[in-house]
Amino acid sequence: MHHIQTFQVLPSIPEHLGFLETLTRNIWWCWQRDALELLRRINPSLWAETQANPILFLTRVSQERLEELARDGSFRAHMERVQESFQAQVHEVAVGANTIAYFSMEFGLHESIPLYSGGLGVLAGDHLKAASDLTLPLVGVGLLYRQGYFSQFLDPDGWQQEAYPDTDLFAMPISRARNPQGQEVRVTVTGPGGDIHATVWQLVVGNVPLYLLDTNIRENPPDVREITARLYAGGGNRRLTQELVLGIGGMRALAALGIQPAVVHMNEGHSAFASLERLAQIMERASLDLKSALEIVPRTTVFTTHTPVAAGHDDFPVDIVQPCIKPFEARLGIGTRDIIAWGQAPAAPPESPLSMFILGKRMAAHCNGVSALHGAVARRMWSHLWNGLPENEVPITHITNGIHIATWVSNEIALLFERYLGPEWHLDIRNAGGGPPDRRDIRRGTLACP
């Protein structure tokens, strides 16, 4: 049998342009106007043709054009300016005792990285970018989708159709996640049909690492390899296995990487299973009993709910969940029936489905909606979990979502801000300023805030 080998023929980046390879491997560039303009400047039409994917873009730039740019003093000065900003803003943030682990089913970072479908992902992506700007010790945990979310188009008869294009991993800024000993990280999770193996990738967002779990590996049978194929696709079993890999697998991946998060933020109920693995890890690491661990985990867990309709919250039949939870009996010291009850309403029948919202809320002392109105809706939706408690006292607060300004502000407004606030205006967004602007400051270009 003949073996087929695939070779990629890529242009050679001249030594003077070596920073371009560093730049494209960290998506810091996607919210830096000067860096975006640097890349677009290389070949504007090709930049648009490759949909602003810098890795794919550089593979298609001709060798002659690269050699020309290496001799172009203006381009090199521009690149050196971007490099100085990169070196000033991007550095390794210590991941230690104060690390925050941010779990989300999707991350909207840039259109060239298809790991999102809508608002939940965009919020998660903006959180990572803002954490990078603020140099917070935060790590993201998600899934690597080989086909991402579907693309929509109209057929000749005018009917809406969906296509699931395969993602070219060689055109994504990812690398294998490695433990402190330099070994590739793999984890195993118990699913409804047996073991699920996953490898772990790393994508760097400025100063923030995002770890992505991937089940498309040889150790898994074909149906298991498909678990991380598509975002929000398949029936209840597929969704359950995705959430087991995200929550339990995500916590095990962090442990393998030597990361013990002080705080876990669950962005929606998809990652609620993470609390079970975290309970077990804390009990094993600190030699604590379950009662003590149950004092620690909720106090150090934040749960954000997004969905204002009950049908949008996942729940799973007990008979399907039971074999996935059973391995925790020995680690937590209680029966599967008691563990599943954490995800059921008070006094609910034993056969009631396990609700990921209820499990997430039970394991998080801090729970919030995503606007004042949504907070009120969520308190009304879930008031039955606190029978007899006035609706306005239901322990679900709200935080009105913001945006990562540098990502969403237009070029025209960005130029205005740079003129009056300086080139690093987006790094000082917490400065609310005080009092009306002084006209003399505006003329001098030293205005502290608009």
Are 101 and 139 in contact by the 8 Å Cβ rule? The answer is yes
pLDDT given at position 168: 86
Task: Report the run of H or E that residue 441 belongs to, with start and end.
Answer: helix 439-444
Please give the Cα distance from 378 to 354 (Å, whole number): 19
User: What are residue 82's phi and psi, to 5 degrees?
Assistant: -65, -40
pTM of the model as a whole: 0.91
Query: Looking only at Cα atoms, what is the longest distance across the chain?
Result: 79
The identity of residue 316, as a single letter, is F
Per-residue pLDDT of the chain (450 residues; tens, 9 = 90+): 566 666 565 678 899 999 999 999 999 999 999 999 999 999 999 999 999 999 999 999 999 999 999 999 999 999 999 999 999 999 877 677 789 999 999 999 999 999 998 889 999 999 999 999 999 999 999 999 998 777 788 989 889 988 888 888 889 999 999 999 999 999 999 999 999 999 999 999 999 999 999 999 999 999 999 999 998 876 778 999 999 999 999 999 999 999 999 999 999 999 999 999 999 999 999 999 999 999 999 999 999 999 888 777 899 999 999 999 999 999 999 999 999 999 999 989 999 999 999 999 999 999 999 999 999 999 999 999 998 899 999 999 999 888 898 999 888 898 898 888 887 787 776 665 543 444 344 333 333 333
The 3-class SS string of 103-130 reads: EECCCCCCCCCCCCCCHHHHHHHHHHHH
Please give the Cα distance from 398 to 402 (Å, whole number): 12
Which residue ranges form the domains of the chain, and what is each CATH number?
15-89 (no CATH), 100-398 (3.40.50.2000), 409-444 (no CATH)
**β-strands 301-304, 315-316: how paired?**
unpaired
- Taken as a whole, the chain contains a residue count of 450
pLDDT given at position 447: 33
Q: Per the structure block, which two tokens stand in for 2?
A: 């003949």
pLDDT given at position 421: 84
pLDDT given at position 431: 60
pLDDT given at position 164: 81
Going by C-beta distance under 8 Å and a sequence separation of 6 or more, which residues neighbour residue 134?
none
Ordered DSSP codes for 20-66: HHHHHTSGGGGG-HHHHHHHHHH-HHHHHHTTT-HHHHHHHS-HHHH
Q: Is the Cα torsion angle 306, 309, 310, 314 positive or negative in sign?
A: negative
Task: Report the run of H or E that residue 75 belongs to, with start and end.
Answer: helix 73-89
